[in-house]
Amino acid sequence: MVCDQPFLSTQIIKKIIDVYHLNDKEIVACKYANTFGVPALFSSKFFPEMLNLKTAKGAKQIIKNYSHMAAAVDFPKGEIDIDTFADYERLTNL
């Protein structure tokens, strides 16, 4: 999970957890902008690989590599994040 997605809600987090427990997939990731992304929930079998990540893309690379093991939770506004003051200004002008 990251901290720059202003539209992330407890409902999205609850949905991720519910899908994880009700599904046989070992990854549950959010889907937005035609891709999988964070927040995401991973089976502990991925922890060693996550600890060895050497890229700024973070766990997204693991989601991509194991997409056949992933379930999706729709989060259309997940693509909106705030990395810069300009992003913030754009968001406040919506």
Greater pLDDT, 2 or 21: 21
Surface-to-core class of residue 82, CB atoms within 10 Å of its CB (0-12 exposed, 13-18 middle, 19+ buried): middle
- How many domains does the chain contain in total? 1
Question: Is 30 a member of any domain?
Answer: yes
Task: Read off φ and ψ for residue 35, nearest 5 degrees.
Answer: -150, 165
Give the domain CATH number at 46.
3.90.550.10
pLDDT at residue 29 greater than cutoff 80: yes
Mean pLDDT of all residues in 73-90: 92
CA distance 45 to 79: 27
User: Domain residues for 14?
Assistant: 10-92
Q: Tell me whether residue 5 is in a domain.
A: no
Check whether 94 has a pLDDT greater than 70. Answer: no
Question: Does the structure show a pLDDT above 80 at 91?
Answer: yes
Residues above pLDDT 70, as percent of the chain: 99
pTM: 0.87
Residue 1 lies in a domain: no
Alpha carbons 11 and 89: distance in angstroms, whole number: 26
| 55 lies in some domain | yes
pLDDT of residue 93: 82
Query: Across residues 47-73, what is the average pLDDT?
Result: 90
CB neighbour class for 87 (10 Å; exposed up to 12, middle 13-18, buried from 19): middle
Buried b (16+ CB within 10 A) or exposed e, 5-29: beebeeebeebbeebbeeeebbbbb
User: Quick check: 11 pLDDT over 90?
Assistant: yes
Question: Is residue 84, in this structure, part of any structural domain at all?
Answer: yes
